Structures are given as C-alpha cells and as structure tokens.
Amino acid sequence: MPAADRSIVGQANTPVAHRGLLTIGVMLATVMQVLDSTIANVALPHMQASLGATVDTITWVLTSYIVASAIAIPITGWLADRVGARNLFLFSAIGFVGASMLCGIATSLEEMVAFRVLQGIAGAFIGPLSQTVLLDINPPERHGKAMSIWGMGVMIGPITGPVLGGLLTENYSWRWVFYVNLPIGILCVALLWWLLPRRPPSRRSFDLFGFSMLALGLAALQLLLDRGQGEDWLHSTEILIEIGVAVAALWVFGIHMATAKSPMFSRVLLTDRNLMTSLLFMIVIGVMMFATMALLPTMLQQLYGYPVIDTGLLLAPRGIGVLISMALAGQLMGRVDSRWLIGFGMILAAVSLWWMTTWSLEMGWWPIVTSGFVQGLGMGFVFIPLNTLAFATLPPSARTDGSSLLNLLRSVGASIGISVVSTFLARNLQVSHADLSAHVTSYSIFSFDPQQATRFGEMGNQLFALIDAEISRQALMIAYLDDFWLIMWLSMAAIPLVFLLKRAPLQAGSSPAVIE
C-alpha cells in the first residue's frame, strides 16, 4: 500500500505547526454550516410576509438548501483531489459566507431560493472536509478526541439553531439569521487561509454518468420527502413521478457502481464493513436526532404553551448531555471497546424515548429536561465512537469520500425521519380524534348531553367547540406519543448493528504499529 495510505502511531498523516488554532478554524466553519441547517426554520413566517410568499412556496427556502447540499456532497472527494483540499475548503467557507449575505439582502422568493441553492452547494463540502482535516492533522491515537470535538459542533448546531434563530428574529430581523455568519466566517477564513496545509491535486477521472444518476435520485428523493405530506403522498401524480425517478435513478447508480470501470466512489469503500455499517447507523442517527428535534419545539409550544425562549431553554439540556458524553467518549475510547460505547449510547437513547412515551398533558417541565439530557448522553456515546470506527479500517486517501458518504446518509436519514414523523403525526391525529369523539356521550360528560346541545343555541355551539378543542388536544398528544414509540423501536432495532462493526485495530496507549 502506498505510504499515503499508512497510519502510524504518534504521527499525523499531515503534521501542522498550530494544530489547536487550525482546529478552531475548522470548527468555526463546521458550526456555521450546521447551524444554518436549522436556524432559518423559525424565521419562515417572517420571511413569508417580507418576501410575498405563500405557505406552500416559503418551504422552498428550506427545500432548496437541502436538495442542493445533498446533490453536492458526493463530489466532495473528487473536487478535493482535483483542485486541492485547501482550495476547496477556502472556496466553501468564502462561498458560504457570501451566499449568506445574499440571502440576507434578498427581496423576493426567487432570489432567496437561488441564494439558498448557492449556500447549500458551498456548505455541502464543509462537513466532509472538516472531518477529513481533523483526522489528517491528528495522529491515530488522537482520532477519538478529534472526532469528539468535531461531533460537538455537528450535534450542538441543530439543537441551538432554532433558539438562536428565534432570538435574532424576535429582537432584530429574520435577515440577521443570515448576517450572523459574517463575523464567524471572517475569523474562520482568516485561520484557514493562514494555517490550512496544502495538498497537491491529483488526477482523478470524473464519473459523470454515476454522478448524474445519484444527483437525480437524491433530488427526487428529497423532493418527495419534503412535499409528500402536503401533496397527500400516493394520491399525487407529482409524488408518484418522484418515487419512480428516485427508485430508477438510484437503482441504475447501484448497478453502475458495481460494474463500471471507474465508478464515482472506490469499491474499497463499499466493501469496508465498518464504513457500510456506520452508514446504516447514520441513517438511524439522522432520524433520531432531527425527527425528535422537529417534533419537540412545536409540541412544547402548542400543547404545553411554552414561549419560544422557554422552549429553547427546555431543549438545552439535550445539548449539555451531548457535550458531556462526547467528552467522556473521547477519553474512554482508548480504554473501552468502542462498540460497547455505541451499544450503551443506543440503549440510553432508547430509554429516553421510552420515557417520552409516558408523557402527559398535566406533567411539568422536569420529564422534558431529564429525557432530553439522557438522550443527549446517548447520542454523544454513539456519534464519536461510530465516526472513529468508520475510518479505522479506511486508508487516509479514502477519508474524504467516506466522510462525504457519512454526511450524506445522515442528511438523508434526517429527511426521511422528519417526513415520516410528520406524516404519522397528521394521520394519527385524525385517527385519534375520531376514536375519542366516538366516546363523547352523555355518560362520559357530566351533566351534558351532546344530542341535546342544539336546544341551547349559540351556547350549545360554544360547548361543542370547547369539547372539540379538548378532543383535538388529547388526540394531538396521542399522535406525538405514537411518533415517540416509532422512533424508540427504530433505535432498538439498530442496536444489533453493533455486532457488525470490527474493533479498531489501534487504541490509545497501544504500542507503535502501522495500520495497513
């Protein structure tokens, strides 16, 4: 194997003089990009009024970013080899900040969607490149700590995004959701320009057909997941077309990957057991983390009446749990088999989701805080060891492609999770409302006979409205609990995947060796 594909204990693949400062620059880029995946969500109503959009069209502000990012992520490895990882990273950071400023000054929906596409393309490369840089500038025995630092930014960003977005929108303007990237971006670009090492470009052919099929399939998949609920799924011609395109394009891409002479991704990646298992885990993590975060803010505000700021404070312990467990995981990985940490983290996450299935409309804030904290602990124990094991058996030259696949599958898992829980929420709300309404009789409501309500005129109508509102509230709570059950069973079903992972061939404190 070439020297570039060897990892030696105590020696980084790309040594640098100021590793700490470079890590800060890399993490600023990571946090900036991840934060923008959720920070704009709470500002959509304000954007709708300002840009003259409708309820249906304003969602393209989110969809355009997601679709553009999903299409661009897979070519990160090819571009990094072609133009150099340093040049691509700098282009991504500068382009992301520039696109953010354009989003902030947008005056129409068309402009906003176009600028969000540019932002999604530029931001797509930041995740894989930042992960690769941290792995390259650290020796193998420090990879666990490096991934814990990287993971903190990736996990904390989606949690704090809605809170920060709400604060900026309420106190200033929705445009500051994008302007906030400017000071972060200036410092980030300065550090990267100064410290990011150069790596000579390498000749690598571009698989245009493979990329076209993958891009078409991902775009169709993202569109049907985003628009499925609003278009009534299989009852919509648009959704049926998108399903057909997604299945056909991804199927052709799979056949092409298996038979092409020079496929888009090296088949070494697809035969690496740790990486492929980690990709499955990433889908589950995307569902658990993003689907849960999509449900909780609206649940806390609609059913429990918490304002935006209090909602953010109640969700903050989840981030605290992530920080604690990631720090612990980085220390324990050299002493405990990483697979045990992943299994323990998945069990913690499942337990927290089980607690959430016992919530009621009369409870206080304590169960929300404790379940969120425990779920954060579980996610931290899963995310860091999993990212480390995913690269443990890969050569350094394949890290960028491997990282792009991990980021892509996490994004796809998030899209699938949000779409599925939103659909189940809407459907179960209707079913539960019908079931509860069937039990509203003169025997179940003291001193009130629904069949005689019309005798009371307007007062009877008001009583009916109050009863219907309470039934809707109870039905919505049941629908949320059903979603928590679904996510819990998914997390439990993923636990056996731990047994497919191979133990990392190198642990901290081991004797010097070479990983082939």
Give the model's confidence band at 232: pLDDT under 50 very low, under 70 low, under 90 confident, else very high.
Answer: confident
pLDDT (average), residues 49-75? 82
Reported as a single tens digit per residue, the pLDDT across 191-216 is 999 999 887 777 778 899 999 999 99
pLDDT (average), residues 252-275? 90
User: In b/e form, how buried is each residue of 145-157, taking b as 16+ CB within 10 angstroms?
Assistant: bbbbbbbbbbbbb
What is the amino acid identity at position 503? R
pLDDT (average), residues 233-238? 89
- pLDDT above 50 for 508: no
- pLDDT above 80 for 239: yes
- CATH code for residues 1-202: 1.20.1250.20
Neighbours of 464 (CB within 10 A): 16
Reported as a single tens digit per residue, the pLDDT across 18-57 is 899 999 999 999 999 888 877 777 677 788 888 888 766 7
pLDDT (average), residues 230-254? 92
Reported as a single tens digit per residue, the pLDDT across 449-488 is 555 555 655 665 676 777 778 888 999 999 999 999 999 9
Q: Give me 416's structure tokens.
A: 């699938």
pLDDT (average), residues 58-84? 86
DSSP labels, 335-352: TS-HHHHHHHHHHHHHHH
In this predicted structure, what is the pLDDT of residue 207?
92
Q: Of 280, 297, 314, give the one whose Cα is nearest residue 416.
A: 280
Tell me the C-alpha to C-alpha distance, in Å, between residue 337 and each of 281, 334, 501, 515. 17, 8, 11, 18
More confident residue, 97 or 227: 97
Fold of 267-503: Growth Hormone; Chain: A; (1.20.1250)
pTM: 0.82
Neighbours of 208 (CB within 10 A): 9
In this predicted structure, what is the pLDDT of residue 509?
37
Give the model's confidence band at 373: pLDDT under 50 very low, under 70 low, under 90 confident, else very high.
Answer: very high
CA distance 472 to 428: 11
Give the model's confidence band at 66: pLDDT under 50 very low, under 70 low, under 90 confident, else very high.
Answer: confident
Lowest-confidence range among 189-203, 351-365, 434-448? 434-448
pLDDT (average), residues 93-119? 94
Show the CA angle centred on residue 343, arms to residues 497 and 409, nearest 5°: 50
Q: Of 131, 78, 196, 151, give the one whose Cα is nearest residue 394.
A: 131
More confident residue, 16 or 157: 16
Q: Give me 44's structure tokens.
A: 């959509």
Average pLDDT of the chain to the nearest whole number? 85
